[in-house]
Amino acid sequence: MSKLKSDPFKTVLVIVAGFIIIYAISIYYANDWSWALYIAIIVSILSIASKKMALLIEKAWFLLAKLLSKIIPNIILGLVFYLFLFPISLLSKLFGNKDSMSLKNPTGSVFKERKYQFTPESFKNPW
């Protein structure tokens, strides 16, 4: 698998667009989140001024993405377990069949006891 080509200016453009969208949504809901617009302006000016800053912003962005990829799946799986699977298992234990996997042997057995005296000839040709 080939490595993706990195383009710091596109990454910065996406970050700036995200902060502008956050600011636009805050205006729609009558909140004053002007900090999002300020961050968008600062990030865009820094990336235009220096390619090194654009690379640094991109590295920080990918580092944040890597950090979130370690945390968020654990939270989601924990929520799925405790909100869905655990209550279903409790209800199954309370109201379900007591031996749902049929782990216990039934009372009647299919084992037959055979009283036979083995001789050396019975082992020569077993099939």
Q: In this predicted model, what pLDDT tens digit does every residue of 2-39 receive, in sequence order?
A: 676 788 889 999 999 999 999 999 988 888 889 999 99
Q: Would you say the C-alpha torsion 54, 56, 58, 64 has a positive or negative sign? A: negative
CA distances from 10 to 13, 18, 39, 117 (A): 5, 12, 17, 86
Average pLDDT over residues 69-82: 94
pLDDT of 18: 95
CB neighbours of 19 closer than 8 A, spacing ≥ 6? 36, 37, 39, 40, 43
Q: What are 88-104's pLDDT values in tens digits?
A: 989 888 887 776 676 67
pLDDT of 105: 65
Would you list the domain boundaries of the chain?
8-89
- DSSP symbol at 82: I
pLDDT of 96: 75
